[in-house]
Amino acid sequence: MRIAVLLKQVPDIIEELEIAPDGLDLARDDLKYRLNEFDDYALEEALQLKSGAGAEVVALALDGEEADLILYTALAKGADRVIKVTGAPADARGARTGALALAEALRPLAPDLVLAGVQAPDDLEGQLPPLVGAALGLPHVNVVTGLELDGALARITQEFSGGLVAHLEGDLPLVVGVQASRAAPRYAAITRVRQAMASAKLEIVAVSAATVAPSPELRGLARPEATTHAEMIEGSADAVATRLVAILRERGFGGNR
End-to-end CA distance of the chain, in Å?
69
Stretch among 76-85, 91-100, 140-149, 158-167 having the lowest mean pLDDT:
91-100
Residue-level pLDDT at 220: 86
pLDDT band for position 6 (50/70/90)? very high
Task: Report the alpha-carbon distance of residue 210 to residue 187 in Å, rounded.
Answer: 38
Written as one string, the DSSP assignment of 25-70 is SB--TT--EEE-HHHHHHHHHHHHHHHHH--EEEEEEESSTTHHHH
pLDDT above 70 for 93: no
pLDDT above 90 for 95: no
Task: Report the alpha-carbon distance of residue 44 to residue 92 in Å, rounded.
Answer: 25
pLDDT above 90 for 195: yes
**pTM recorded for the entire structure:** 0.82
pLDDT tens digits, one per residue of 11-55 = 887 777 888 888 887 887 878 888 999 999 999 999 999 998 789
pLDDT above 90 for 157: yes
Q: Are 94 and 123 in contact (CB under 8 A)?
A: yes
pLDDT above 60 for 231: yes
SS3 of residue 156 by DSSP: strand
Stretch among 129-138, 152-161, 206-215 having the lowest mean pLDDT:
206-215
pLDDT above 80 for 169: yes
